[in-house]
């Protein structure tokens, strides 16, 4: 039995809605999967994304917000018994099958990438998502699996020197690995990982980013981070 939401107002039940689609939208307008006709509710207020046996709630930038068990949330992984509040309406999440030992789920399976991505997609998105499939099926292409490596889509990072003799110089971080600094004094390395650029200490004292020592751990660089290394200040930015 799929999980469901029980809609109520002032403790009287108004309806039950099975979560039998990957994406269910709640809101004031009639075209929503779950309509809650009250002015405190935004036209499209929140979405519930269901993947196999788990459901996730996302507030769709509603005017009055979405609360779970009294707490304002933007995104939330639903647990059996959670109470979602929008305006004065309540929706109780009931998932009887929630269990932590289900052998079916122990087997590694492959699903189409980007499932979670649909959650963040605009509510208006027309795309019809295909359901997760329990095994890699022959001939059934998994869209996205053949997408180019993530790093191909990574915006190009650059470093500009802010101080010292090289001030004003720029370096495009086109290489997978670039070593920076003065050997014997302080050296760090910037590596391009699929999820972004990371700076790691190599030699000497730990590099400083935005005024704080990064320690020995790799740290992801964000746009306009200022790196201090061997007495030279540099700015990292993405183009």
> Do residues 8 and 34 lie in contact, with contact meaning Cβ atoms separated by under 8 Å?
no
* CA distances, 27 to each of 36, 130, 184 (Å): 6, 23, 62
Nearer Cβ to another protein, position 14 or 120? 120
Return the residue of 25, 46, 60, 230 that touches another protein, per CB under 8 A.
230
Q: Does 174 bind another protein (CB under 8 A)?
A: yes
Candidates 9, 14, 125, 150: give the one binding another protein (CB under 8 A): 150
Say how far apart CA 112 and CA 88 lie, in whole Å: 37
Residues from 64 through 123 that contact another protein (CB under 8 A) = 74-77, 98, 100, 102, 105-117, 119-120
Binding residues for another protein, rule CB under 8 A, total: 78
In the region spanning residues 127 to 146, those forming contacts with another protein, defined by CB under 8 A, are 132, 135-139, 141-142, 144-146
* Shortest distance in whole angstroms from residue 24 CB to another protein: 15
Q: What's CA 199's distance to the chain center, in Å? A: 22
Of the two residues 40 and 52, which places its CB atom closer to another protein in the complex?
52
Residue 222 interacts with another protein (CB under 8 A): yes or no: no
Token pair for 83: 């109470």
Residue 228 in contact with another protein, rule: CB under 8 A: no
* Minimum CB distance to another protein smaller for 6 or for 98: 98
Q: How are strands ordered across the β-sheet holding 208-209?
A: 170-172, 157-161, 232-238, 226-229, 208-209, 212-213
Does residue 35 touch another protein according to CB under 8 A? Answer: no
For residues 162 and 234, is the Cβ–Cβ distance under 8 A?
Answer: yes
CB nearer to another protein: give 8 or 191: 191
Q: Does 161 bind another protein (CB under 8 A)?
A: yes
| φ/ψ of residue 49, rounded to 5 | -105, 125
């Amino acid at each position: 039995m799929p999980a469901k939401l029980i809609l109520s107002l002032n403790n009287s039940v108004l309806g039950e809605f099975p979560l039998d689609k990957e994406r269910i939208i709640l809101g004031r307008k009639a075209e929503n999967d779950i309509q809650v006709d009250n002015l405190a509710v935004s036209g499209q207020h929140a979405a519930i994304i269901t993947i196999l046996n788990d459901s996730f709630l996302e507030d769709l930038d509603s005017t009055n917000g979405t609360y779970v068990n009294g707490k304002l949330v933007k995104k939330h992984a639903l647990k059996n018994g959670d109470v979602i509040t929008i305006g004065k309406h309540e929706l109780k999440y009931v998932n009887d099958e929630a269990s932590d030992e289900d052998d079916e789920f122990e087997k590694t399976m492959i699903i189409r990438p980007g499932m979670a991505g649909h959650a963040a997609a605009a509510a208006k998105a027309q795309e019809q998502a295909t359901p997760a499939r329990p095994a890699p099926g022959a001939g059934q292409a998994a869209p996205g699996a053949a997408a180019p490596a993530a790093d191909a889509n990574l915006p190009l990072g650059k470093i500009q020197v802010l101080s010292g003799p090289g001030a004003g110089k720029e370096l495009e971080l086109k290489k997978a690995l670039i070593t920076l600094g003065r050997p014997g004094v302080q050296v760090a390395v910037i590596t391009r990982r699929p999820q972004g650029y990371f700076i790691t200490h190599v030699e000497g004292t730990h590099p400083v980013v935005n005024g704080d020592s990064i320690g020995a751990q790799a740290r992801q660089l964000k746009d306009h981070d200022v790196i201090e290394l061997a007495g030279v200040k540099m700015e990292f930015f993405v183009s």
